[in-house]
Structure 1
Amino acid sequence: MSNKEKYQLSILIPVYNHVCKGLVENLHLQAETEGLLYEIIVADDGSTDIAVKEKNSRISTIKNCRYISRDVNVGRAAIRNFLAEQSRFKNLLFLDCDIELPDSHFLKRYIDADIKAVLYGGVCTEGTHSLGKHNIRYIYEHSSEPHHTALERSKQPYKSFRTTNFIISRNIMLAHPFDERFKHYGYEDVFFGKELKHNNITIMHIDNPVSIRDFEPNDVFISKTEEALRTLYCFRNELADYSKMLESIRRMEKFIPMEFFRMWHRVFGKLELKNLKGNSPRLTIFNMYRLGYYLSLKDVK
């Protein structure tokens, strides 16, 4: 885009128990280099770690940056809506707090792109060889990377949307906010993609990924996975055509009774968990555990 000095950008980062001052400093430097009319707003969604909050509070000392501390955790959908309401520029860049920028041209690639309505840049994983053996989130994310290119995402532009790294027009965001029924972890971005399609709002995909380098311990990731599956179960009817898990179940149940997987989970679920929380987790076991856990939710009242 020409006249970069007039390009307006609000960079919005929800945070929970994670220090993101370094990320903000990097974004600030890039925005200054590009001569943008910009602001960076970090909203803390009720973090419980006082030391983290203290470090993040220093973000407000950086030019054009603001740190907002909120006492009550409102969830991933509501905190993003809050950030949009707090913003003042016409383009909004949403980023997760636990990512890193790949290089010094991250913002420039977004500015140079032909933004229509919503633009998703993608995500990539970076880690050591040991992570590939011992960390189940790294193993899972790394195995999914071939599907994260812009070419692959563009094949199903609405189903491939994630909130990790995207730009959206402020007017569109305010007119079509995230659904605040999604208070727990998972699938608020999937439903948002569905709503954008329903309202004929274009999602474009480019290769401008952020990096994931901070991978939580296996037990934490499994707990988050279970929470996401419970969210999916609550919204299963509305997400029927937008969830890979639900699509897989529909295909498999034509050939295999789902009761088989429920029984498998009852018998082997604890053994699977032991593997997944241990030092040598297996992706195949992770996928079996996810399927069995989800299918078993129908028995939970």
Structure 2
Amino acid sequence: MLSILVPIYNYNVYPLVLELHKQCTDCGITFEILCQDDASQSSLNVFNENINALSNCSFDSLKKNLAHRENRNSLAEKAQFNYLLFIDGDSLIIHDNYIQKYIENFTDFDILYGGRLHPEKCPSDNQKLRWKYGRFFEDKAAVNRNKNQFQSLLFNNTVIKKDCFDKVKFDKNIKKYGHDDTQLSYHLSLLKSKVNHIENPVEHGEIDTNLDYLNKTKESLENLITLYKEEKIAIDFIKLIQLYHFLKRTKSTFIISKLYSIIEKSLFKNLTGDNPNLLVFNMFRIGYLCTLNSK
């Protein structure tokens, strides 16, 4: 029936697994919950070891780091059932019928995406950049996600059929953070996979600090340029790449990269401050992307 796959890195997922286990048991379904720490050697794994005492659940701490994409692939390979639910370890279950809602929608689909929410109140000023971007750009109702089914697809809180996932998998050759979801969604679009967006969100629990998110954003933009240069994704699949391609064709990337170098410190000051501006964040992303043109 259902294999729940939880990739972990330095996080206590026992409370999450306990809730998932309770809901699966209450639904009376055949299930397994597989959790795998990616060689973090975290002291938190002492709590994760308790997962092994739960029926149909397992926790494994890898000795060698695989990176996030390959950790997900590894979990999928170990799964014994055809429905795979990918859920990140820092997710919070906010509805007591979460599993039941997925089961009710197990008809005519290859991929089911339930959505993601950020808390209504930002935990701290030092986390406002990630929180704002999540609230205003990523948190979408199913009716809006269905307008751009593949571009709105994230692989946290996502059910995919195992035979469908096996045709694509995450690209293990890219090690940096970011756009693994984008690349996989693009490949699924080429296969004309059946995507259903439903209202069954989880809450994003661990929100990056402003500085951490800026660094992750840089990595994700570097990945995006790699996908673009290696033609692993269509230009029209991502708006940011469409813009970059236009700037490159009009030979504007050099000018923008020079302007970016002049205002970079001001952008950085705003984005790591108490009230980061999302317009400034977009300027930062476009500017940094253009600096990668010569690398």
Tell me the TM-score normalised to structure 1 length.
0.90
Q: CA 1:130 to 1:95, structure 2 compared with 1: closer, same or farther past 3 Å?
A: closer
Equivalent in the alignment of 1:187? 179
Percent of counterpart pairs with the same letter? 29
For residues 230-250 of structure 1, give each alpha carbon's deviation from its aligned partner in whole angstroms, at most 9, with x where no partner exists: 111111132223222112334
Whether 1:257 aligns to 2:249 is: no
Q: Distance in 2 between matches of 1:157 and 1:261?
A: 32
Q: Is the 8 A contact 1:95 1:165 kept in 2?
A: yes
Number of residue pairs matched by the alignment: 291
Q: Is the 8 A contact 1:91 1:168 kept in 2?
A: yes
Compute the displacement of 1:101 (Å).
1.1
For residues 86-128 of structure 1, give each alpha carbon's deviation from its aligned partner in whole angstroms, at most 9, with x where no partner exists: 1111211011111111210111110001252111111111142
Q: Distance in 2 between matches of 1:252 and 1:124?
A: 33
Whether 1:35 aligns to 2:31 is: no
Alignment of 1:161-200 (within 5 A): 161-200=153-192
Q: Is the 8 A contact 1:76 1:188 kept in 2?
A: no
Whether 1:299 aligns to 2:294 is: yes
Q: 1:125 aligns with which of 101, 111, 118?
A: 118
Equivalent in the alignment of 1:248? 243
Q: For residue 38 of structure 2, what is the amino acid of its counterpart? A: D
Equivalent in the alignment of 2:278? 283
Equivalent in the alignment of 2:263? 268
Q: Is the 8 A contact 1:134 1:280 kept in 2?
A: no
Q: CA 1:159 to 1:145, structure 2 compared with 1: closer, same or farther past 3 Å?
A: closer
Q: Is the 8 A contact 1:133 1:281 kept in 2?
A: no
Between 84-93 and 273-282, report the one with greater CA deviation: 273-282
Q: 2:37 aligns with which of 44, 52, 57?
A: 44
Equivalent in the alignment of 2:10? 17
Report the secondary structure of 2:72's partner residue.
helix
Compute the displacement of 1:293 (Å).
0.8
For residues 12-58 of structure 1, give each alpha carbon's deviation from its aligned partner in whole angstroms, at most 9, with x where no partner exists: 0101112111111110110011011001000111214x212222222
Q: CA 1:217 to 1:134, structure 2 compared with 1: closer, same or farther past 3 Å?
A: closer
Tell me the TM-score normalised to structure 2 length.
0.92
Q: For residue 242 of structure 1, what is the amino acid of its counterpart? A: F
Q: CA 1:181 to 1:226, structure 2 compared with 1: closer, same or farther past 3 Å?
A: same
Q: CA 1:252 to 1:150, structure 2 compared with 1: closer, same or farther past 3 Å?
A: farther
Q: Is the 8 A contact 1:127 1:213 kept in 2?
A: no
Between 24-33 and 181-190, report the one with greater CA deviation: 181-190
Q: Is the 8 A contact 1:132 1:138 kept in 2?
A: no
Whether 1:141 aligns to 2:138 is: no
Q: CA 1:286 to 1:217, structure 2 compared with 1: closer, same or farther past 3 Å?
A: same
Q: Distance in 2 between matches of 1:59 and 1:277?
A: 37
Report the secondary structure of 1:293's partner residue.
helix
Whether 1:54 aligns to 2:46 is: yes
Q: CA 1:175 to 1:133, structure 2 compared with 1: closer, same or farther past 3 Å?
A: closer
For residues 128-151 of structure 1, give each alpha carbon's deviation from its aligned partner in whole angstroms, at most 9, with x where no partner exists: 2564786110011111156x2211
Computed over aligned residues only, the root mean square deviation of the Cα atoms, in angstroms, reads 2.0
Q: For residue 30 of structure 1, what is the amino acid of its counterpart? A: Q
Q: Is the 8 A contact 2:125 2:275 kept in 1?
A: no
Between 239-248 and 250-259, report the one with greater CA deviation: 250-259
Q: Distance in 2 between matches of 1:62 and 1:32?
A: 11
Whether 1:238 aligns to 2:232 is: yes
Q: CA 1:57 to 1:127, structure 2 compared with 1: closer, same or farther past 3 Å?
A: farther
Compute the displacement of 1:289 (Å).
0.8
Q: Distance in 2 between matches of 1:38 and 1:206?
A: 21
